[in-house]
């Protein structure tokens, strides 16, 4: 391993396709080796065609590697309009499937699962196949038995999410003082609830766009200014990503995503069947090779690239004219260290000689203001054609006018926002320091992730086997005996086993000692085995 200086210690690489992460990643990983390098690390064992949501048709009905060759055969035959009906899961072949309880948020309320008398679409079959999600399983355990320092000290501690609760009190206080005013003292008699202003304008109120553009500029500390008219607002960042990709990509196009990435982001683009690239690789090489690889597979139509902010900016100029760049600036306002990579979008936007109609940005506003469940995402683009169509598609994902009114008032409250950003960053920095210090005490490496809420810890030396199987065993042990839910690196397509992603922003300071104590005990137990 020869880590590059700026990206050192972050576990890079592309794991197997996520859908078969419990099944056959050992084989896809063995193709790769575990180290990074400068050669391309493109792993496309099961990628299907990108068909917008339709990508599921081929891409998601196949639960394990057994169907790899079947899919190859199908793809040769061209995307057919009648995909194979979902095969029954052959759990005997999949040793680690039993590790993951097959639960979903849905089945929580509706546990019945009888036979299906009526045919459903392949999307439904695919979605219902993908239940074995660690994210859900661990979260379920937490919901059923949540840790509380006094009332439930033996409960599950949730470090597997990605939300910042450190500054909820600020938001709560503001809402308490202002929510009535923001809704009821709007400039319209009817509070904008039934008015002409909001009608047929699914992509967000102009007032909100102006406020968001201001806020984004403030978050980036004035290094770039954003225009409200280049903005489309959607009900959440997941929708922003999906809408933008839908506007950019056609069936047969590819979307490349550097790994490791947010396992939630993964779920967002899951339906789009992204290709996985190793962010340590030279992006120009990657693209050349992707073109070659796709041409081999008769996917000559490749023209899309989704990259996140970790791709060095200068690459943007080098890559082909047909390639779009999507900057996934989800949490730029919550970055708590000197991390200039977040400024890529600013640099790109400032560059004179770059074709700006190929640059797009996603911003998860609601996360940065500690209101994740208000679900507001931003598509920012300098391509008017993309903007215009994205605005139309927001018909399927428009933001509640209540949220919009509240946000307009909140973001326009400059004093509050400035104070909030200041305090929120200070709290994140503090928690991150305490968290890192705790792991240092355990002699465990803890490195900063790309978001401000999380870090990565390297537990590889405690694995029984240096493999994804070993990693999943560790994940299970942490959940079962230590009662700490984490995100195993494999679910973020990290190729080095043993990395776990932890969110420290949903804890309080006092919880850190509890977490460290539990992890220490779990590791000690492990040593006894």
Binding residues for a second copy restricted to 258-287, rule: CB under 8 A: 267-268
184 is a site residue for a second copy (CB under 8 A):
yes
397 is a site residue for a second copy (CB under 8 A):
yes
Q: What is the DSSP code string of 479-512?
A: HHTS-EE-EEGGGGT-SSTTEEEEE-TTS-TTHH
- Quick note: the x/- pattern for a second copy over 1-40, rule CB under 8 A, is ----------------------------------------
- Smallest gap from residue 375 Cβ to a second copy (A): 5
514 is a site residue for a second copy (CB under 8 A):
no
Nearer residue to a second copy within complex by CB, 360 or 469: 360
Tokens linked to 343:
């400024």
Distance, in Å, from the CA atom of 57 to the CA atom of 48, rounded to the nearest integer, reads: 9
179 is a site residue for a second copy (CB under 8 A):
yes
- Smallest gap from residue 264 Cβ to a second copy (A): 9
349 cis-preceded (ω within 30 degrees of 0): no
Distance, in Å, from the CA atom of 485 to the CA atom of 482, rounded to the nearest integer, reads: 9
Nearer residue to a second copy within complex by CB, 198 or 278: 198
349 is a site residue for a second copy (CB under 8 A):
no
508 is a site residue for a second copy (CB under 8 A):
no
Assess contact for 344 and 311: CB atoms under 8 A: yes
Assess contact for 60 and 130: CB atoms under 8 A: yes
- Smallest gap from residue 431 Cβ to a second copy (A): 15
199 is a site residue for a second copy (CB under 8 A):
yes
- Smallest gap from residue 315 Cβ to a second copy (A): 16
364 is a site residue for a second copy (CB under 8 A):
no
Distance, in Å, from the CA atom of 370 to the CA atom of 233, rounded to the nearest integer, reads: 17
Distance, in Å, from the CA atom of 50 to the CA atom of 207, rounded to the nearest integer, reads: 35
239 is a site residue for a second copy (CB under 8 A):
yes
Assess contact for 493 and 276: CB atoms under 8 A: yes
112 is a site residue for a second copy (CB under 8 A):
yes
For 42, list phi and psi in degrees, rounded to 5.
-70, 125
Q: Which of 69, 118, 151, 352 binds a second copy (CB under 8 A)?
A: 118
Q: Which of 159, 233, 247, 523 binds a second copy (CB under 8 A)?
A: 247
519 cis-preceded (ω within 30 degrees of 0): no
Distance, in Å, from the CA atom of 108 to the CA atom of 50, rounded to the nearest integer, reads: 31
150 is a site residue for a second copy (CB under 8 A):
no
Distance, in Å, from the CA atom of 173 to the CA atom of 178, rounded to the nearest integer, reads: 9
- Quick note: the x/- pattern for a second copy over 367-396, rule CB under 8 A, is ---xxxxxxx------xxxxxxx-xxx-xx
**Most distant CA atoms of the chain, gap in Å:** 70
Q: Which of 214, 282, 297, 355 binds a second copy (CB under 8 A)?
A: 355
Counting runs of H as helices and runs of E as strands, what totals does the chain give? 19, 12
Assess contact for 7 and 339: CB atoms under 8 A: no
51 is a site residue for a second copy (CB under 8 A):
yes
53 is a site residue for a second copy (CB under 8 A):
yes
DSSP alpha helices (H): ranges in 152-231? 168-184, 206-219
Per-state percent for the chain, helix, strand, coil, to nearest 5: 45, 10, 45
- Smallest gap from residue 198 Cβ to a second copy (A): 4
Tokens linked to 442:
């355990």
Binding residues for a second copy restricted to 55-94, rule: CB under 8 A: 57, 78-79, 81-83
Nearer residue to a second copy within complex by CB, 163 or 308: 163
- Smallest gap from residue 475 Cβ to a second copy (A): 17
Nearest CA-CA partner of 226 in 446, 356, 441, 382: 382
- Smallest gap from residue 7 Cβ to a second copy (A): 28
127 is a site residue for a second copy (CB under 8 A):
yes
- Smallest gap from residue 8 Cβ to a second copy (A): 32
Distance, in Å, from the CA atom of 152 to the CA atom of 141, rounded to the nearest integer, reads: 14
Tokens linked to 36:
């990074």
Q: Is 338 helix (H, G, I), strand (E, B) or coil?
A: coil
- Smallest gap from residue 499 Cβ to a second copy (A): 22
Binding residues for a second copy restricted to 318-337, rule: CB under 8 A: 321-322, 324
183 is a site residue for a second copy (CB under 8 A):
yes
Span interacting with a second copy, options 9-17, 317-325, 423-431, 485-493, rule CB under 8 A: 317-325
- Smallest gap from residue 139 Cβ to a second copy (A): 5
Assess contact for 324 and 305: CB atoms under 8 A: yes
188 is a site residue for a second copy (CB under 8 A):
no
Total residues binding a second copy (CB under 8 A): 123
Span interacting with a second copy, options 24-32, 247-255, 281-289, 413-421, rule CB under 8 A: 247-255
C-alpha radius of gyration, the chain, whole number: 23
153 is a site residue for a second copy (CB under 8 A):
no
- Smallest gap from residue 313 Cβ to a second copy (A): 18
Binding residues for a second copy restricted to 403-442, rule: CB under 8 A: 403, 406
91: DSSP letter: G
Nearest CA-CA partner of 273 in 308, 249, 300: 249
Distance, in Å, from the CA atom of 494 to the CA atom of 468, rounded to the nearest integer, reads: 10
Nearer residue to a second copy within complex by CB, 139 or 280: 139
Span interacting with a second copy, options 51-59, 436-444, 449-457, 517-525, rule CB under 8 A: 51-59
Distance, in Å, from the CA atom of 408 to the CA atom of 165, rounded to the nearest integer, reads: 22
Q: Which of 28, 47, 198, 486 binds a second copy (CB under 8 A)?
A: 198
Span interacting with a second copy, options 10-18, 21-29, 33-41, 188-196, rule CB under 8 A: 188-196
């Amino acid at each position: 391993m020869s880590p590059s200086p700026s990206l050192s210690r972050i576990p890079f690489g592309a794991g197997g396709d996520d859908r078969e992460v419990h099944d056959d990643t050992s084989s896809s990983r063995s193709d790769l080796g575990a180290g990074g390098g400068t050669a391309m690390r493109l792993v496309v064992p099961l990628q299907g065609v990108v068909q917008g949501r339709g990508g599921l048709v081929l891409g998601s009905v196949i639960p394990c590697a057994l169907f790899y060759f079947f899919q190859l055969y199908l793809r040769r035959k061209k995307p057919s309009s009648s995909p194979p009906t979902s095969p029954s899961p052959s759990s005997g072949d999949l040793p680690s499937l039993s590790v993951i309880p097959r639960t979903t948020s849905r089945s929580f309320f509706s546990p019945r699962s009888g036979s299906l008398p009526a045919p459903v679409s392949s999307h439904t079959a695919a979605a219902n196949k993908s239940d074995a999600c660690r994210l859900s399983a661990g979260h379920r355990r937490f919901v059923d038995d949540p840790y509380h320092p006094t009332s439930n000290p033996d409960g599950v501690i949730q470090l597997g999410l990605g939300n910042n609760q450190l500054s909820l009190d600020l938001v709560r206080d503001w809402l308490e003082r202002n929510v009535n005013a923001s809704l009821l003292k709007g400039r319209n008699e009817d509070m904008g609830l039934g008015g002409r202003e909001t009608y047929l304008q699914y992509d967000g109120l102009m007032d909100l766009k102006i406020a968001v553009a201001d806020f984004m500029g403030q978050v980036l500390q004035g290094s770039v200014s954003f225009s409200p008219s280049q903005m489309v607002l959607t009900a959440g960042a997941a929708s922003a990503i999906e809408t933008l990709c839908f506007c950019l990509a056609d069936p047969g196009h590819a979307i490349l995503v550097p790994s490791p990435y947010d396992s939630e982001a993964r779920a967002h683009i899951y339906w789009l069947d992204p290709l996985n690239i190793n962010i340590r690789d030279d992006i120009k090489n990657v693209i050349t090779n992707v073109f070659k690889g796709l041409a081999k597979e008769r996917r000559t139509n490749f023209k899309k690239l989704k990259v996140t902010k970790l791709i060095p900016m200068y690459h943007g100029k080098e890559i082909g004219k047909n390639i779009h760049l999507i900057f996934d600036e989800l949490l730029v306002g919550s970055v708590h260290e000197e991390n200039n990579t977040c400024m890529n979008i600013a640099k790109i936007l400032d560059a004179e000689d770059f074709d700006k109609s190929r640059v797009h940005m996603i911003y998860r506003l609601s996360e940065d203001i500690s209101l994740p469940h208000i679900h507001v995402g931003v598509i920012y683009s300098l391509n008017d054609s993309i903007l215009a169509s994205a605005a139309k598609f927001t018909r399927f994902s428009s933001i509640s006018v209540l949220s919009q009114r509240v946000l307009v008032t909140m973001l326009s409250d400059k004093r509050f926002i400035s104070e909030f950003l200041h305090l929120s960053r200070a709290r994140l920095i503090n928690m991150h320091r305490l968290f890192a210090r705790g792991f240092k005490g355990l002699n465990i490496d803890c490195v900063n992730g790309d978001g401000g809420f999380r870090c990565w810890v390297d537990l590889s030396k405690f694995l029984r086997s240096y493999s994804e199987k070993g990693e999943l065993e560790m994940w299970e042990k942490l959940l079962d005996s230590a009662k700490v839910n984490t995100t195993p690196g494999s679910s973020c397509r990290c190729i080095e086993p043993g990395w776990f992603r932890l969110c420290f922003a949903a804890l309080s300071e006092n919880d850190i000692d509890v977490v460290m104590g539990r992890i220490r005990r779990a590791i000690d137990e492990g040593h006894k085995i």
